Structure 1
């Protein structure tokens, strides 16, 4: 009777098939895959309606438009994974830009202006993180109050007017390399660094642990208070970077230049699969989220849809993402 044992070729084929099945399982279990599929489907539909949407000029324009919001979204992603949230980012960007624009017009060295802008954002975020963590206050309420404070200070500084840069400090926001805007490279670089931190460092593992359960993280040896302050500081660094890019791109410092940015970044993070309760979120998901919202806005402009309807669509997209996320959590 012939042997029924597997031949080496059969074994190799079986192992290859098993590897493909495991890879497929990992792919389709990822929460980012449904968003990626939806994004591709949306792009195909819009391209059929308006072929100009896929022009190189428009693709470059979309990436430039989402770069500032994308940088802040990565910071917001780290915050939300850690169980925190920041409603003040829009007016903190505006305040930092007004401060830097004022210093620019005093003809101070660019290095001093960069340090001042980043230092201001990091310092204010560290203060917010310390108050919230030490006094065990709700981040939502505290940052809502800070949003009003930052807006008031910016309005007092400028008397409600814009501060023109007179063609100074243009390279960061308007420069190009290989015909691609520099802010796009900065955004992609921030994404890569954040991905590496979350996937391959102790800080990244602690971020998820703190967001999932503060007590458990504390028992595991994490100084939760110190760690949260570090997260706020890192977020502040990205906010300061975004403020510099936005100011350079539009050529002014204005107290209202980033109004509504907090809604856009939180929406992108949630659409990307992060849980507002903490402990869940990915850089790739947030990247897709900010890109999806940016493409929706851009495509609606191209086909002539009113901005008012765009706000309504944004609201439905965010609610849909929250519902989908809650259902996924119930099943898991």
Structure 2
């Protein structure tokens, strides 16, 4: 048992295994290649956002506006394409807009000392309203533009999944092998000590919030490509954000900063994706999905705090 406890994320892996085995026993279609790729494709947007949030939370930050950033950038991109602008131009505008929105959060958090939770939750509410204004009550369709990126595969793997894996791997490498990643851990561990040790905390925090904004813009492009349209009642917004936060916390990233792994986040994403897919295959009401996400997030947050307390004792 002692050896098992030393395996990274052993509890999360065990829960995932139980859910997979149970669902596979109840549904013949669950373990098929098509369904597995479907699950991974559906969590691709969440994965891109979760990668950025893992790095930010490791540094002690938080951004509850990423899902709303996705809603705005997807709406703006769709509107530009629908009005005849070139798709590459619309994508670049989306990425720049997402980055700018992330930097606004960073500036407010860094220079006003207001809690990131408060700032980004306020920004999320504001951006949800902006998305509604851009839509003006209408669904904006982009036709076949970006269809290949959103729905086609290369060597049997969806393009969106490839992008998500690249982002996750790049984030893991940054956190593990770069000065920037080590600085993020240091800032999350103790910002004051990090500042005294010569780390430019202000520049690092602005860069982190700008990066979460950039990945939000990329997530908006990916979501638009997958759906082919942007609507006022899209899957973006706070509901998307809560799923992303849940995946990151389930993966073991500390809410207080100083600890986080991309591998844990990836496992958290897969767990939530499998649970959602299982509920669908087993004919449960879709209303159970937010219930399951909330329950898993609460359990993970409690387990996170218990693990931190146990580590402090040892």
State the TM-score, normalizing by the size of structure 2. Answer: 0.94
CA-CA distance at 1:243 after TM superposition: 0.7
Does residue 234 in structure 1 map to residue 208 in structure 2?
A: no
Which of 58, 62, 65 in structure 2 is aligned with 1:88? 65
Q: What is the CA–CA distance in structure 1 between the aligned matches of 2:249 and 2:171, rounded to whole Å?
A: 17
CA-CA distance at 1:28 after TM superposition: 4.0
Secondary structure of the 1:51 match is: coil
Q: Which residue in 1 is equivalent to 2:106?
A: 129
CA contact (8 A) 1:80 1:274 kept: yes
CA contact (8 A) 1:94 1:256 kept: no
CA-CA distance at 1:63 after TM superposition: 0.5
Does residue 69 in structure 1 map to residue 32 in structure 2?
A: no
CA-CA distance at 1:30 after TM superposition: 4.6
Secondary structure of the 2:29 match is: helix
Q: Which residue in 2 is equivalent to 1:330?
A: 309
What are the within-5 Å matches in structure 2 for residues 22-171 of structure 1? 28-171=5-148
- Number of residue-to-residue matches in the alignment: 308
Deviates more, 1:312-321 or 1:29-38: 29-38
Q: What is the CA–CA distance in structure 2 between the aligned matches of 1:256 and 1:83, rounded to whole Å?
A: 32
Which of 171, 189, 193 in structure 2 is aligned with 1:216? 193
CA contact (8 A) 1:172 1:182 kept: yes
Q: What is the CA–CA distance in structure 1 between the aligned matches of 2:308 and 2:228, rounded to whole Å?
A: 44
CA-CA distance at 1:122 after TM superposition: 0.3
CA-CA distance at 1:249 after TM superposition: 0.7
Q: Which residue in 2 is equivalent to 1:314?
A: 293
What are the within-5 Å matches in structure 2 for residues 197-276 of structure 1? 197-257=174-234, 258-259=236-237, 260-276=239-255
Q: What is the CA–CA distance in structure 1 between the aligned matches of 2:7 and 2:184, rounded to whole Å?
A: 19
State the TM-score, normalizing by the size of structure 1. Answer: 0.89
- Deviation per CA, 1:280-300: give whole Å up to 9, x if none: 110000000011001000011
Which of 265, 270, 281 in structure 1 is aligned with 2:260? 281
Which of 261, 269, 272 in structure 2 is aligned with 1:293? 272
CA contact (8 A) 1:97 1:243 kept: yes
CA-CA distance at 1:155 after TM superposition: 1.3
In structure 1, runs of 5+ residues without a counterpart are 1-23
CA-CA distance at 1:110 after TM superposition: 2.4
In structure 2, runs of 5+ residues without a counterpart are none
Q: What is the CA–CA distance in structure 2 between the aligned matches of 1:168 and 1:244, rounded to whole Å?
A: 11
Secondary structure of the 2:47 match is: helix
Q: What is the Cα-based RMSD across aligned positions, in Å? A: 1.4
Secondary structure of the 1:167 match is: coil
CA contact (8 A) 2:12 2:267 kept: yes
CA-CA distance at 1:31 after TM superposition: 4.3
Q: What is the CA–CA distance in structure 1 between the aligned matches of 2:279 and 2:215, rounded to whole Å?
A: 29
Q: Which residue in 1 is equivalent to 2:150?
A: 173
CA-CA distance at 1:320 after TM superposition: 1.1
CA contact (8 A) 2:175 2:182 kept: yes
Q: What is the CA–CA distance in structure 1 between the aligned matches of 2:220 and 2:42, rounded to whole Å?
A: 14
Q: What is the CA–CA distance in structure 1 between the aligned matches of 2:175 and 2:201, rounded to whole Å?
A: 17
Secondary structure of the 2:30 match is: helix
CA-CA distance at 1:223 after TM superposition: 1.1
